[in-house]
Structures are given as C-alpha cells and as structure tokens.
Amino acid sequence: MRIYRKENPKTWTKMFKHALINIPLEPYSAKNNYRPLIGVGLIKNVFYLNKPKALRTRGQFLTFDNWSKKGWKHFWRSSAFLRHDHKLKSKINIMYQYYQWKKWHKSYNSNKLNNTSYKGFDVENIR
C-alpha cells in the first residue's frame, strides 16, 4: 500500500472511500488467543499516520466497486476473501455483516429509484 500511496499521492484515498473492511470487534488479548471477533465496517474517511498505531486491522477490504457488484457468485468469492483464515465465529459474522451491507446497498438503490427519502450516502457521488 505504501508504494501505491507514493505513486498516487493525490488519489490514493479514493480506492478506500466507501470500501468495506474487516475490523476487530473486541481487543486482541490472551483471553481470545489474540484472535478477536471480526466484523465488517464501511470506510467513511481515510488518513495516513507516519507512525503506525499499535492496534490495527489486518486489512482485508473490498473497494466500493467490488462489493456493490450484483450476483451470488461474486458474493461468495468476495466473502471468501473477507473470511480468509479467521475463526469460525468470525467467518459467520463476516458473512452476515457483508450480506447486510449488500442488502442495505440494494435497499438504498431501490428507495432512490422510487424517490423515497433515505438517510445514507449518495452512491452516485462516490463513483
């Protein structure tokens, strides 16, 4: 990622805007064998720290263009990437949360087409 950021200093953040990313839902600790429950979150903003933080994600993410694609075949392939080598409870949680984001996106677009109000980001403006 450092190389991509250096090669694209003005546009590198666009790749992450509204992407989905694996996030720890609890601290890494001896109690959970340093394998916390993992969920899926939406990236709303991006910044860069010169000095890395001690706690961070492992970084599996799907760009908006990727996760907003239609089709079950694509869903299974991209969810396999997010599930990676996490423990079973996290894999189930990741699948569920990823499905919820897909459902939300479909609902958002449906409401938009029907001219009903919907609180959320404007998908057309982020492409």
Question: Domain residues of the chain, as ranges?
Answer: 14-47+57-109
d(CA 24, CA 57): 7
53 burial (CB, 10 Å; 0-12 / 13-18 / 19+) is exposed
Q: What is the pLDDT of residues 63-93, one digit of tens each?
A: 999 999 999 999 999 999 999 889 999 999 9
Q: What is the pLDDT of residues 16-54, one digit of tens each?
A: 889 999 999 999 899 999 999 999 999 988 887 777 766
